[in-house]
Amino acid sequence: MLQAKNLSRNYGDVKAVEEVSFSVEPGEVVGLLGHNGAGKSTIMKMLTGFIEPCQGEVLVDGMSILEEPELVRESIGYLPESPPIYPELSVLDYLFFAARMRGRHSEDEVYNALSATNLESKALEPIATLSRGFKQRVGVAQAILHRPRLLILDEPSNGLDPKQNQEMRDLILTLAKEATVILSTHVMQEVDAICDRVLIMSAGKLTVDENLRDLTEGSSIALSTTSEAPIERLLANVAIVSNLKELDQGRWEIGVKEDISTAIDRIARACVESDVPIYGIAPKKLNLETLFRDVSEAEVSK
């Protein structure tokens, strides 16, 4: 659905983005992470054609955004970090205006966008009177008016309270049923809740491009059993075990060399065959926030 090829963008002598490449498959929900100044918003502006790259190209559904900008923009819905709204207009007037700007004249499209973002009750209210959460919804509504196949959201939960955060996540998951979604965020819980893949930017470079499950599962297993269980002796000759660490009595962290699912099966079988009770066995989850911090700090320190 989307290909970014060797994207670079300079602002004077500052390299905001440096040779970034990635692709996004149809139907994916991809989280773009990075600290302030890492290059996230610059990447998103290049993906939407808002600014041109100094180097590289963007292809949307096989079309170059530089060569066929109007056709490409018909496939893209974009919510900038600051929603492009006119506070003096009512929600409905603004959405009709946004529709006309896109050359759309169907009232059904406007009302469908109102319904999709749960804005019916606010349709006639001036945007200036809305809460931050509803203003963000208005921004999303203008982005989906034309039913884009690619939705790009820059900090959609910025400034929202916990309830509004959850409402925005639910909305994005609903929209993702019909569109490929790329969103930038600082909220790790948001990534865990809705994303399939994670891209991590640091100092203008793409440092991580991984499936979220692969990124957080790591290569170790958490095992809980009785404190008397002879786990070290039991697993000494299991070839897939790379290291073994007792966390406390009866709780172990087991490093493995194979696929996690296969390793869990083999370790569980070894325990059962030796009559060792298993209270719990599962992939050891890595903390995404810690991983993000470590990756960012490692790149900055280079």
Beta strand 14-24 pairing with 220-224: unpaired
Give CA–CA dist 298/207, Å, rounded.
10
Measured torsion, CA atoms of residues 111, 115, 118, 123, in degrees rounded to the nearest 10 = 20
- Give the type of residue at 266: R
Confirm if 222 and 252 have CB atoms less than 8 A apart. yes
Q: Residues 72-95: what's their mean pLDDT?
A: 90
Q: Residues 123-145: what's their mean pLDDT?
A: 91
Q: Residues 61-75: what's their mean pLDDT?
A: 88
Q: Where in the chain is the domain with CATH 3.40.50.300?
A: 2-215
pLDDT at 235: 84
Most confident of 128-142, 148-162, 234-248: 128-142
Q: Is residue 295's pLDDT more than 80?
A: no
Nearest to 17 by CA among 199, 228, 289: 199
Question: Taking CA 49 as the corner, what is the angle to CA 43 and CA 52, rounded to the nearest 5 degrees?
Answer: 75
Q: Residues 144-151: what's their mean pLDDT?
A: 90
pLDDT at 8: 94
Q: Is residue 118's pLDDT more than 90?
A: no
- Give the type of residue at 10: N
> Going by CATH, does the domain composed of 219-283 fall within 1.10.290.10?
no
pLDDT at 180: 92
Give CA–CA dist 137/117, Å, rounded.
6
pLDDT tens digits, 168-178: 888 888 888 88
Q: Residues 38-42: what's their mean pLDDT?
A: 88
Q: Residues 230-236: what's their mean pLDDT?
A: 85
Give CA–CA dist 197/191, Å, rounded.
9
Other C-beta atoms within 10 Å of 117: how many? 26
pLDDT at 168: 82
Q: Residues 124-149: what's their mean pLDDT?
A: 91
Q: Is residue 297's pLDDT more than 70?
A: no
Q: Is residue 88's pLDDT more than 90?
A: yes
Q: Is residue 294's pLDDT more than 70?
A: no
Q: Where in the chain is the domain with CATH 3.30.70.100?
A: 219-283
Confidence of residue 18 (pLDDT cuts 50, 70, 90): very high
pLDDT at 46: 92
Confidence of residue 114 (pLDDT cuts 50, 70, 90): very high
What superfamily in CATH does domain 2-215 come from? P-loop containing nucleotide triphosphate hydrolases (3.40.50.300)
pLDDT at 299: 55
Confidence of residue 218 (pLDDT cuts 50, 70, 90): low
Confidence of residue 286 (pLDDT cuts 50, 70, 90): low
Q: Residues 217-235: what's their mean pLDDT?
A: 83
Give CA–CA dist 150/74, Å, rounded.
9
Which of the pair, 283 or 278, is modelled with greater confidence? 278
Q: Residue for token digits 């060399």?
A: 257
